[in-house]
């Protein structure tokens, strides 16, 4: 390894609190503190804090930002109101997915409006390189990479909102799902959104880097009696898998398109033209080549990424993209791509390192929280 790994503003806290640090997307990140399972369960039962500062944060200012974002995203964002958050994809001309992102439209206390795009850590450099030449066509739009100036903290779980309500000077429960607001509640402005990647209710906070430790510790303190814990990337992965959420590098990559990835909801194809739209319209007409399904392998042995998926007759018809034990359900779960012609099959087999295991299709998500 020749390049040095970056550290998040919370790096010292992780190390002082038992975080097992691993390289991830150019950062040193905690994969776990105590155990993946206990952190996972704390998130489902109370709440967990995640340092997600490695995620890329790109800010877009200036007239024409809406048009620019509309040009590069599969999802229409030109009509995104102030306070709105939208999930979308950045695609190549052929429809291949470069990244999946969240775009927020926010307004500062001094009434400056801008868009903030959260990109995957592993794709940050690629997306910056992809967008830079396109920005030449939008001379009034400026892009600034805010990743290193800020930290990002996710607080997720059934007890998250009430604890944040006690801590904050405003009531975050008034923020609806997929809404964002800039608050000056901390020493420096912070973006608070009701979003997450765990299947639980909760918030994501983008704060100034120098404020990160204080806010992190205050959040932990606010949930002390509720059983809040810090959780690492390991639990984040098992939580998002249970929630049926795709992860770039696993379900998503440049050789799969959003329709074949089951992300039609994130594509506004009607009356729109954007990078990749021609290819996607064609795919929509003929139908995607694959479908993303949930599988439950029989027994206890988890199927892992890369395990071939076979039909009843033993023909290879797909591949597992993510798989592991589900701590909430107590049995292994997997997401897989299978040939569209097998979308409705009721039986599959998974080749787990040479052994064929029967697997039943399961509706995604595997886990859905009880609605309040």
Partner 1 sequence: MSRDESKLLYAESHEWVDLAEEDGKTVGTIGLSGFALEQLNDLVYMELPDLGRELTAGEEFGEVESVKAVSPLYSPVSGKVIAVHEDLPESLEKLNDDPYEFGWIVKVEISEANTVDSLLDHAAYQKQCAEAG
Q: Which residues bind partner 1 (CB under 8 A)?
A: 31-32, 35-37, 234, 237-238, 300-302, 304, 324-325, 327, 332, 353
Q: Which is nearer to partner 1, 89 or 239 (CB)?
A: 239
What is the nearest approach in angstroms of partner 1 to the Cβ of residue 233?
Answer: 9
What is the nearest approach in angstroms of partner 1 to the Cβ of residue 324?
Answer: 6
Per the CB < 8 A criterion, the answer to whether 37 and 91 are in contact is no
Q: Which is nearer to partner 1, 312 or 355 (CB)?
A: 355
CA 250 vs CA 73, 139, 264, 337: distances in Å: 20, 35, 18, 11
Helix (H, G, I), strand (E, B) or coil at 228: coil
Q: Which is nearer to partner 1, 221 or 356 (CB)?
A: 356
Q: Which is nearer to partner 1, 223 or 323 (CB)?
A: 323
What is the nearest approach in angstroms of partner 1 to the Cβ of residue 364?
Answer: 20
- Range list of H helices, 49-159: 65-72, 124-135
What is the nearest approach in angstroms of partner 1 to the Cβ of residue 234?
Answer: 5
What is the nearest approach in angstroms of partner 1 to the Cβ of residue 224?
Answer: 24
Q: Which is nearer to partner 1, 37 or 134 (CB)?
A: 37
Q: Which is nearer to partner 1, 300 or 363 (CB)?
A: 300
DSSP string for residues in 297-341: ESSSPPP-TT-EEE-TTS-EEEEEEEEEE-TTTSSEEEEEEEEGG
What is the nearest approach in angstroms of partner 1 to the Cβ of residue 278?
Answer: 41
What is the nearest approach in angstroms of partner 1 to the Cβ of residue 330?
Answer: 10
Determine the Cα angle at 300 with ends 295 and 306, to 5°: 50
Closest CA to 296 of 344, 245, 346, 332: 332
Bridge-based pairing state of the strands 56-61 and 113-119: antiparallel
At 208, which helix (H) or strand (E)?
Answer: strand 202-208
Q: Which is nearer to partner 1, 27 or 87 (CB)?
A: 27
**Tokens 């990160």 found at:** 212
Nearest-angstrom CA–CA distance, 65 and 76: 13
Q: Which is nearer to partner 1, 45 or 165 (CB)?
A: 45
Helix (H, G, I), strand (E, B) or coil at 74: coil
In sign, the C-alpha dihedral spanning 164, 169, 175, 178 is: negative
What is the nearest approach in angstroms of partner 1 to the Cβ of residue 20?
Answer: 9
Per the CB < 8 A criterion, the answer to whether 30 and 14 are in contact is yes
- Range list of H helices, 60-123: 65-72
What is the nearest approach in angstroms of partner 1 to the Cβ of residue 44?
Answer: 14
Nearest-angstrom CA–CA distance, 293 and 369: 20
Q: Which is nearer to partner 1, 56 or 327 (CB)?
A: 327
Per the CB < 8 A criterion, the answer to whether 104 and 191 are in contact is yes
What is the nearest approach in angstroms of partner 1 to the Cβ of residue 1?
Answer: 17
**CB within 8 Å of 181: residues ≥ 6 apart:** 83, 106, 175, 191, 192, 193
Q: Which is nearer to partner 1, 7 or 92 (CB)?
A: 7
């Amino acid at each position: 390894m020749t390049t040095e790994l970056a550290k998040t503003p919370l790096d010292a806290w992780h190390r002082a609190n038992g975080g097992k640090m691993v390289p991830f997307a150019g950062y040193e990140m905690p994969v776990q503190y105590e155990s993946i399972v206990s952190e996972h369960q704390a998130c489902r039962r109370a709440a967990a804090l995640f340092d997600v500062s490695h995620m890329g944060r790109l800010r877009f200012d200036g007239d024409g930002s809406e048009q620019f974002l509309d040009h590069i995203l599969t999802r229409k964002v030109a009509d995104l109101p102030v306070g709105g958050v939208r999930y979308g994809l950045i695609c190549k001309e052929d429809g291949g997915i470069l990244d999946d992102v969240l775009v927020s439209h926010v307004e500062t206390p001094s009434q400056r409006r801008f868009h903030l795009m959260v990109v995957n850590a592993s794709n940050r450099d690629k997306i910056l390189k992809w967008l830079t030449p396109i920005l030449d066509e939008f001379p009034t739009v400026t892009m600034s990479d805010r990743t290193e100036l800020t930290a990002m903290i996710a607080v997720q779980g059934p007890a998250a909102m009430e604890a944040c309500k006690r801590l904050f000077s405003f009531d975050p429960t008034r923020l609806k799902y997929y809404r964002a607001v800039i608050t000056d509640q901390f020493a420096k402005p912070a973006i608070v959104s009701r979003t997450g990647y765990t299947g639980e209710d909760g918030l994501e906070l983008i704060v100034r880097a120098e404020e990160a430790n204080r806010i992190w510790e205050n959040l932990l303190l606010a949930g002390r009696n509720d059983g809040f814990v810090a959780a690492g990337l390991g639990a984040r992965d098992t939580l998002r898998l249970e929630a049926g959420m795709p992860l770039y590098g696993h379900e998503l990559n440049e050789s799969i398109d959003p329709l074949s990835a089951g992300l039609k909801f994130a594509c506004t194809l009607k009356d729109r033209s954007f990078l990749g739209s021609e290819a996607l319209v064609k795919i929509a007409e003929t139908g995607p080549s694959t479908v993303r399904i949930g599988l439950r392998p029989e027994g206890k042995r988890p199927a892992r990424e890369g395990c071939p998926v076979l039909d009843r007759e033993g023909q290879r018809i797909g591949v597992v993209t993510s798989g592991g034990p589900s701590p909430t359900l107590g049995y292994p779960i997997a997401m897989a791509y299978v040939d569209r012609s097998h979308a409705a099959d009721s039986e599959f087999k998974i080749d787990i390192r040479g052994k064929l295991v029967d697997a039943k299709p399961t509706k995604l998500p595997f886990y859905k929280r009880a609605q309040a």
